[in-house]
Structure 1
Amino acid sequence: CEGEHMFSSPVPGHLTFLMIMHQASLLLMAGFLHLALANGVDQLSWFYRMHPLAIMDPDSTGGDCPAECDCPPTFSIAMYCNNRGMKQMPYIPSRMKYIYLQHNQITTISDEAFKNGTNLVWVMLHENQIVEIGKRAFANLVNLERLYLNGNNLTEVPSNIPNSLRDLHLSHNKIDKVSLNAFEGMENLTTLLLNYNVIQDMGSTLKGLKSLTLLDMSRNLLKKVPDGLPAMLHQLYLGFNSIETIPGNFFNQFTNLQYVRLSHNALTDKGIPPNAFNVTGLVELDLSFNKLERIPTVSTSLEHLYLQANQIKARGRRCKFE
């Protein structure tokens, strides 16, 4: 039959051996990559280490690689300058799309710092000592998608952040104010991390972030829930603040909201309107470490409710589901 005919000719022994070795090599590389990711090693760094520089000529398209950095020829659009003790921004060849500058001692980013890096997609500047960023420093990075500035000494949100940005990490800084136009036009932003700052009020600065799904403002000095939160929110983290009240029907406007964390605030029964948390779709609600005396009404779709360290005294009382 046709099926027997298809497999009637044996594969030569040397070809079988090569096929087996090829498959084994692929599996081995996949295993190393999985192990690298599991241990927090950047996948691009791992790939670079697998191909030593000694066997290939460097790609100098758009400028030579700075002496203090590594630009792997196997991934010539990435520049690794992390953990080098650098105090100033290096020259950036125009071909670069990914630049890793984390864990250095950089204090200032001038308006000219990225003048040659207009193709950049990722900029990693976390864990430095940055106190000042030029108002036009990021203005020309029209392709930028990820900007990590967490773990620095910034006191305000940088100006002129590109509208192409999707992930913005500003946690672990000293930000105490956010201007009204700080996020203007950033309709592509999906993740905004502002936790571990000293922000007291956000005003309505978040109103235009139509694509925002994750907002983390935990461990600030907020006294109320930020106004104008985007309707697309999926995760809202406001723990470790000084929030006392929840606006009436506040959560009804979020059809995709599943995770809300309001632990370690100053919420009281009086500050929570009836049925405030009775919202279909909510999966996790953390109200622990507040001043609640009663268990609030929640939706039957809720899977995780945290109420420990409140002032709830009634025993044997069941949660109210509607």
Structure 2
Amino acid sequence: MKTLQSILLLLLFVPLIKPAPPTQQDLRSIYDYGTDNFEETIFRQDYEDKYLDGKNTKVKESIIIPDGKSLQLQKDESVTALPPKKENEEMPTCLLCVCLLGSVYCEEVDIDAVPPLPKESAYLYARFNKIKKLTAKDFADIPNLRRLDFTGNLIQEIEDGTFSKLSLLEELSLAENQLVKLPVLPPKLTLFNAKYNKIKSRGIKANTFKKLNNLTFLYLDHNALDSVPPNLPESLRVIHLQFNNITSITDDTFCKANDARYIRDRVEEIRLEGNPIILGKYPNSFTCLKKLPIGSYF
């Protein structure tokens, strides 16, 4: 009787017991016996578990083809779009030159005319180029210029009014050009350099220097002057006139013939060597000077 009850209980609980999952060896045996795509299915599941989980799922979505014509990359968020170009954005004015803090450097770039300059320019260095002419429009819109240097160009002509609007200009160098006459100079010049040109005395007007009350340094050496320019301002400290064709001077050239007490005390250097003049013949021409001019006295 007890045996029969035990058998009945065993038969009652057998359907509730689940078989254990097959081992890898059992899987291999199942594949060997007719499951054609089982290994491929296992590989795909393993790939999706490893590479399409968490952050790596973005790799799959990194390329989007919205319209079939263009690709939009979304993976690299560090790439930023360029800002849209402003409609009124102007081209830079310094194309051939170097512009830095109000200074413009156009040296040895073979330009044959003054290039467009920023309106705020204060210093222009255009040395050793091929500029032949300076015009009134070159500086018409640049009133803040304080220094211009055109050393080593081919300048033959400077239009009237070229410097008329440069009320702040303090230094002007036209050295080593081909000038035969001087233009009207701006009133606040402290330095004017026109050495190594072809300037003749008739190319300098009587009042060219008269009103330049701040002019301190004047360099006109190595030209074709046959006389000292008239009406040199009292402010001058250095006057270079060496290697010209100056043959004579007067008592009024540097001093005042009618004022024996007049002293030109600011002049520190006058150079006249290399001229045909014999300075010893004109002793009354230097009575107002603290130092005699440099040159030949015999």
Q: TM-score range by the shorter chain?
A: 0.5 to 0.7
2:244 to 200, 211, 220: 220
1:262 and 2:295 matched: yes
Look up the match of 1:95: 120
| TM-score (ref. length: structure 1) | 0.58
Q: CA deviation at 1:203?
A: 5.4
In structure 2, list runs of 5 or more residues that go unmatched. 1-89, 256-263
> Contact between 1:174 and 1:198, CA under 8 Å: does it hold in 2?
yes
- For 1:150-182, what per-residue CA distance to the aligned partner results, in whole angstroms no more than 9, with x for missing partners? 0000001122x1110000000000001222111
Q: Distance in 2 between matches of 1:203 and 1:146?
A: 19
For 1:54-133, what aligned pairs fall within 5 Å after superposition? 64-72=92-100, 76-133=101-158
2:285 to 241, 247, 250: 250
1:165 and 2:193 matched: no
> Contact between 2:271 and 2:293, CA under 8 Å: does it hold in 1?
yes
Q: Distance in 1 between matches of 2:217 and 2:131?
A: 25
Look up the match of 1:233: 267
Aligned residues: 196
Identity %: 26
Q: CA deviation at 1:67?
A: 0.5
Q: Distance in 1 between matches of 2:153 and 2:283?
A: 41
AA in 2 matched with 1:179: K
Look up the match of 1:31: none
Q: CA deviation at 1:91?
A: 1.1
Q: Which has the higher helix share?
A: 2
- For 1:255-293, what per-residue CA distance to the aligned partner results, in whole angstroms no more than 9, with x for missing partners? 4x3x63104xxx43xxxxxxxxxxxxxxxxxxxxxxxxx
For 1:1-322, what aligned pairs fall within 5 Å after superposition? 64-72=92-100, 76-159=101-184, 161-177=185-201, 178-202=204-228, 204-206=230-232, 209-225=233-249, 227-229=252-254, 231=264, 232-245=266-279, 246-255=281-290, 257=291, 260-263=293-296, 267-268=297-298
Q: CA deviation at 1:63?
A: 8.4
Q: CA deviation at 1:92?
A: 1.8
- For 1:25-81, what per-residue CA distance to the aligned partner results, in whole angstroms no more than 9, with x for missing partners? xxxxxxxxxxxxxxxxxxxxxxxxxxxxxxxxxxxxx98332011113xxx211111
| TM-score (ref. length: structure 2) | 0.62
Q: Please, what is the CA RMSD of the aligned residues?
A: 1.9
- For 1:216-250, what per-residue CA distance to the aligned partner results, in whole angstroms no more than 9, with x for missing partners? 00000000136432622110100000113442333
In structure 1, list runs of 5 or more residues that go unmatched. 1-61, 269-322
AA in 1 matched with 2:293: V
Q: Which has the larger radius of gyration?
A: 2
> Contact between 2:253 and 2:285, CA under 8 Å: does it hold in 1?
no
